[in-house]
Chain A
Amino acid sequence: MGAILTLLINGLAQGALIFLMASGLSIILGMMGVINFAHGTLFLWGGYSYVWAYYVIWNRVAQARFPDAYAIGQWGGSVVRVDRIALPSGQALPFHLDLLIFLAALIIAVAIVFFIGMIFEKLFINKVYNNAPAQILVTLGLQVIFTDVARFFFGTEGIQIVPPNFLNGTTRLWGGTIVHYNIFVILVGLAVALIIHRIITKSRIGMVIRAGLQSPEHVKAIGINIRRYFTYIFAVGAGLAALGGALYMPFVGAVTSTAGMNNQILAFIVIVVGGLGSFLGSAFGSVFIGLMTVVISLFVPALSVVANVLVMALVLVFKPNGLFGMAVNN
C-alpha cells in the first residue's frame, strides 16, 4: 500500500513536470501550427535562470540577516558566478522569506524565458510559418546554440539545488514516504492545466486563437492582429517550459545541461502519444508517461528510456494519430 502510494505520487509529479513542458509544445503546435524543437533549451534556461535567481536573492537575504554567514565556494560559468553561502549551524531563514524568495525566483525565471520566447518568435519563427521543415531546422539550430550558450553562461558542471525549506520534507503515510515537493509540483501542474483549458475554451483570447487557426484571413478582416497573438502564444509556451524547468531542477536535485534535451524528448513522446496539437491529449499523455517512467525505472531501471518509446510505438500502431489526435500532419 505504502509503496504504491509513493510510486503514484512520484509518477504523478513526474507527469506534472512533463506536462508543463509538453503543454507549451502542444499549445504552440496546436494553435500556431509551429513545431518547436527549441523547447528543451527554453526548459533548460528556465531551470538555470531559476537557480541563478534563487541563489542570488537567497545569498543577499541570508547575508543581510546573518552577518556571520560565509561563502564556502562558488559555482557558475564564464558569465555568471554565484557564491555558495553556508549559514551558521542551526540557523535558517523564516518561512515568509523562504516563500518570497522561492516565488520571486520562479517569476524571474519565467519572465526571462518569456522574453527569450518573444525574441525567438519575432526573429525566427515569424519567418517560417507554414513551412514545417524550416521550422524544424531553425528551432533545432536554436536548440543547440542556446544550450551551449547556457553552458557558457552557467558552466558545464551540474549545480546543486534543493527545494526551499518549507517544501523540503517528507511525510510517512501508511508505510509510504510522501515527498512534499512532489505534492506541490502535482498541484501546480493541475492548476496550470485547469487555467489553460479554461482560457482556451472559455475566454475571448482562446476564441480568437481558435478562429485564427481555422481561418486567419477572416480574423484579420475583423481587425484583429493575429500575428501579435502568435507572439504571445509562443512566449506563453516558452514560459510554461520555463516553469517546468524551474520546478524540475529541485525535483532532481541539480541542474545539468543535458536536462533540456532529455525532457524535450519526453515531451515529444508525450505529445505523439497524446495526439499532436491536442491539449487534453498532452495532459493525459504526460500523466501516463510519468507513471510509466516511475514504474519501469523501479522494476527495470535500464529500460526506462526504451519503455517510453515502446509505449509510443504501440500507441502509434493502434492509433496513428495518438490517443486524442487531431492529426496536424503536414
Chain B
Amino acid sequence: MGKAKVKVNAADMIGSKKMSPVQIGALLALIATFVALPFFIGNTTIVLVCRIFILGVYGMSYDILRGYTGIINLGQASFFGSGVYIGVLALRREADMLHFIVALLGATVFCLLVGFLYSKIVLLTGGVVPGAMITLALAEIVRNLAERWYTVTGGQDGLSLRASSLAINFTSASIRLGGRDKLIGLYLFTFVFLIVMTLVLRQFVMSPTGRVLMAIRENDQRAKFLGYNTDHYKTIAFLVSAVASGLAGVFFSIVVRFAGTDYLSIQTTLDALLMTLVGGTGTLYGAIIGSGLVTYLQNLLLNLAREYSDFRLLRFPMIFIGSIYVAIVMFMPSGIMGGVYKLQAMRKLKKSQANK
C-alpha cells in the first residue's frame, strides 16, 4: 500500500466515539484546574483568561459557519459587536442580573433578525466568494451606521460602563485572598458560559442538522440531490452562529466594560478567523485553544508596545498578527486540533494495518 494517505475529517472526530475513563479523568482534571486557577493568578491575568473564555465562544460560533458549513462570513463582527453594544447599553441603565438577562435576550433577538437578513442576502448569490464580499460590505455598513448613530452608540467615542457598573451582583463576588480583591465571580461566570456554550454548540454540531451542514460543506450539489434544502440549513447555521456570537458579545461587555466601533470592524472578524484557523477549522474545540493563543499573543504585543514605545513598529500589531495569520493559512491550514486529529487517525490506521 505504501504511504497511506490519510484524509481526516476533523469534524467527524467530535463525539464519534465514547470517551475512555482516562479521557474523562483528564477532562475533569482540566476543569478542576481552571476552577482553581483564579486563586493563584492576579486580576490582570484573570481578566485576560475571561477574555479568552468569551472569545473562545466567539471563535466556536464562527467555526459553525466557517468550519462546518463552509461559508466565509466576513461580517461576524456585526453580531459580536452588537452584542457588546447591547450589553453595555442595558447595563448602563442598571448593572444587575435582570438587565444582564434582558441584554442576553435583546442580543438574541437582534442577532436573529440581522443574521436572517445577512443569510438571505448571502444566499441570493450562493457562492463562497460573493458571500465573503457581500458580508464584508454589510459589516462595514453596520459599523458606519454605529459610528453615525451618535445618540445611541456614542459614535467614535464609544460607550463605557462606569467602574462600579461591574457590580452585577453575582459577577463581582470578589473574594479577599492574599489581601487583594479578586474577580473570582467574573471568572467563574464566564467559565460557566464557556462550558455551557461548548456543550450547546457540540450538541448542535452532532445533531442531524449539524451532519447535514457538513454534507453541504463537502459537496453542496450532492446534498441538494439527496433532497436537502441546503439554503434552509445554511440559514440555520447562520442564525446559530449569529446568536452565539451575540451572546459572547454581551458577556464580553461585562469584561471590557466598553463598547466601541472597533468591535464591529473587520479586525474583530479577523480575530475570529484567526482563532479558528490556529485551533483548526471545523474542530469546534480548536477555537478555544486558538482563542487562548491569539488573545495571549495580542496581549503580549500590546504590553511590548507599551514597554518599548521607541520601537514604533510595535504600534501596529496587525502587521505581526496578520503575518502569523497568512503563514497559518499557507503552511498549516488544518491548525492545531486538525493536526492532533490527523495524528490520532494515522495511529489508528497503523494499528489496523498491523492487525491485518
Contact = CB atoms under 8 A, between A and B. Distances in A.
B148 to A, nearest CB: 6
A78 B319 CA distance: 14
A271 B134 CA distance: 11
A329 B220 CA distance: 12
A144 B270 CA distance: 9
Interface string A297-330: 0000010011011001100110010000000111
B322 interface: yes
Given A124-B326, A141-B325, A268-B134, A320 B141 contact: no
A317 B123 CA distance: 10
B129 A305 contact: no
Interface stretch (A7-15, A55-63, A126-134, A195-203): A126-134
B189 interface: no
B27 interface: no
Given A148-B322, A268-B134, A329 B125 contact: yes
15 contacts: A77-B312, A134-B333, A141-B323, A141-B325, A144-B267, A144-B322, A145-B323, A302-B148, A312-B137, A313-B121, A316-B121, A328-B129, A329-B125, A329-B128, A330-B129
A276 B132 CA distance: 13
A298 to B, nearest CB: 17
B318 interface: yes
Contacts of A134: 329-330, 333
A95 interface: no
Contacts of B319: 145, 148-149, 152
Interface string B115-152: 00000010011111110111011101100110010000
Nearest to B117: A313
A28 B214 CA distance: 31
Interface of A: 29, 35, 37, 77-78, 124, 127-128, 132-134, 136-138, 140-142, 144-145, 147-149, 151-152, 261-262, 265, 268-269, 271-272, 276, 302, 305-306, 308-309, 312-313, 316-317, 320, 328-330
B224 to A, nearest CB: 14
A141 B329 contact: yes
Contacts of B126: 320, 329
Contacts of A265: 136-137, 140
A134 B333 CA distance: 9
Contacts of B128: 132-133, 136, 329-330
A37, A132, A148, A330: residue with the most chain B Cβ atoms closer than 10 Å: A148
A317 B124 contact: yes
Contacts of A136: 72, 74, 128-129, 132
B72, B136, B317, B329: residue with the most chain A Cβ atoms closer than 10 Å: B329
B133 A142 contact: no
A305 B128 CA distance: 23
Given A145-B319, A271-B133, A329-B130, 12 more contacts: A124-B330, A140-B270, A144-B325, A272-B130, A272-B133, A276-B130, A302-B148, A316-B121, A316-B125, A317-B124, A328-B127, A329-B126
Contact of B138 (A127, A151, A309, A328): A309
Given A320-B125, A329-B125, A138 B326 contact: yes
Contacts of A77: 312
Contacts of A308: 137
B72 A330 contact: no
Contacts of A262: 140
Contact of A132 (B129, B316, B326, B329): B129
B266 interface: yes
Given A138-B330, A152-B312, A261-B266, A330 B125 contact: no
B273 interface: yes
Interface of B: 70, 72, 74, 121, 124-130, 132-134, 136-138, 140-141, 144-145, 148, 266-267, 270, 273, 277, 312-313, 315-319, 321-323, 325-326, 329-330, 333
A228 to B, nearest CB: 21
Given A152-B312, A329-B127, A140 B267 contact: no
A305 B144 contact: yes
B178 to A, nearest CB: 40
A320 B318 contact: no
Contacts of A144: 266-267, 270, 318, 321-322, 325
B326 A269 contact: no
B333 A306 contact: no
Contacts of B145: 305-306
A169 to B, nearest CB: 33
Given A268-B137, A329-B127, A133 B72 contact: yes
Contacts of A29: 129
CB-based closest 7 A-B pairs:
A329-B127, A145-B322, A141-B326, A148-B316, A268-B133, A316-B124, A78-B312
Nearest to A330: B127
A22 to B, nearest CB: 11
A284 B29 CA distance: 63
Nearest to B143: A305
B316 A312 contact: no
B132, B133, B315, B318: residue with the most chain A Cβ atoms closer than 10 Å: B133
A124 B331 CA distance: 11
B146 to A, nearest CB: 12
B316 A309 contact: no
Nearest to B322: A145
B72 A309 contact: no
Nearest to A151: B316
Contacts of A317: 124
Contacts of B140: 261-262, 265, 305
A147 B319 CA distance: 8
Contacts of B133: 35, 268, 271-272
Given A152-B313, A312-B137, A137 B329 contact: yes
Contacts of B74: 136, 140
A274 to B, nearest CB: 12
B233 to A, nearest CB: 18
Contacts of B266: 144, 261
B287 to A, nearest CB: 16
A309 B137 contact: yes
